[in-house]
Amino acid sequence: MSPLDPAALRPHYSAFLRSGKVLLTGHSHQAWPDCARDATLEAWDDAAECVDDKWERAFAAADAVRDAIASRIGARPDEIALGQNTHELVVRMMSALDLRARPRVVCTTGEFHSLTRQLALLERHGAVEVAWVEAEPVATLAERLADAVDARTAAVFTSTVLFETSSVVPHVGELVARARAKGAEVLLDAYHAFSVIPFDVAALGASDAFVVGGGYKYAQWGEGVCFLRVPPGRRLEPVLSGWFAGFADLAVAGGARRAGFGPLGKDAFAGATYDPTCHYRARAVTRFMQEQGMTTAALRELYTRQTARIIDGLDGLDVRTPREPSARGGFVALRVDDAPGVVAELRQAGVFADSRGQLLRLGPAPYVTDDEIDRALRAVRAAL
């Protein structure tokens, strides 16, 4: 496997990189390769040519995306439900839980806002009891989550990489085994692992878990391409279910009231009419990455080197991301007094980064050079 060379990749991202900005937004919104624009126009052209018949081509693009997702998480394409965002997929999954028999869920305090906010609102309105488990220390998180599961627990929610600190959550497989033994479902948020850390549900011991994620970040797919992996053999009936979940009903008079589901477990979690442009874009970017040798393993090697350079350059500061390569994801988090203010100062210096609370997040990408990282680090120190 040849190491990836950011300088050689940069010409393929000419539209995003022509401004001269340093894009340390790899953990949030990566640049799209130029082929993504061509794919967007392809979707438009197919709609103009085929009108309603465009869906045959659109579904082919969606199937290609399922194939790509499955190959990156060690799953089968027929286990993958697609959605426009992770929130809609997680809510559908939650609507399949029997909260009357098991009114309790377990969740970490380190989940992204969409899940945390949703659970907080459900808890506020008496729809569910939530056992909040502190995300730190991450070394014992899986064990503490498993300890919190009881006979009244319907599901456990946890990330595999924490979105605030880039910390990898260890022992996820043990959590899945213990929770499933008590009858609770497990949903793993793999967004900050997808396309940046080698991820295989079987190798993790997570074959019996739901997995949610998306391509907005490290996969360079842009908005609208998210997924829910449904464990094989799991036949749940979400209350919140779009008409795509029961295509067969279209051929039956009054079929909508029948509210059936397709033959596969993932079919129940399908949504409704969507903008297929995102799948054209994701398919094109997937092909591009394959051509460039941008496998997850190759990307992992590059991200490990880039994040190490950032951590070394922040020596003496309050870095909250693990220094051990295997314990961190694809970005570095630095605690500062005024993270939003630092982000604004960096923007003035032509460096794009972001913040969550008091944490400044710096995320490299395959097209970011060492010189750009060093320029960004100088700007960070100047802003502190």
Residues 6+ apart with CB under 8 A from 16: 23, 31, 32
Between the CA of residue 289 and those of 9, 286, 340, what are the distances in Å?
10, 5, 33
Where in the chain is CATH 3.40.640.10? 41-284
CATH fold group of domain 6-31+295-383: Aspartate Aminotransferase, domain 1 (3.90.1150)
Write down the pLDDT at residue 256: 66
Which amino acid, one-letter code, is at 36? A
234-253 mean pLDDT: 82
CATH fold group of domain 41-284: Aspartate Aminotransferase; domain 2 (3.40.640)
Cβ distance 339 to 345 under 8 Å? no
CA distance 159 to 332: 17
Residue 382 has pLDDT above 80, yes or no: yes
CA distance 160 to 197: 10
Write down the pLDDT at residue 249: 67
CA distance 109 to 91: 18
pLDDT digits (tens, 9 = 90+) for 130-142: 999 999 999 999 9
124-152 mean pLDDT: 99
Where in the chain is CATH 3.90.1150.10? 6-31+295-383
pTM of the full structure = 0.96
Cβ distance 260 to 244 under 8 Å? no
DSSP secondary structure letter of residue 163: T
180-190 mean pLDDT: 99
Write down the pLDDT at residue 264: 84
Helix pair 277-291, 54-73: axis angle to 10 deg = 50
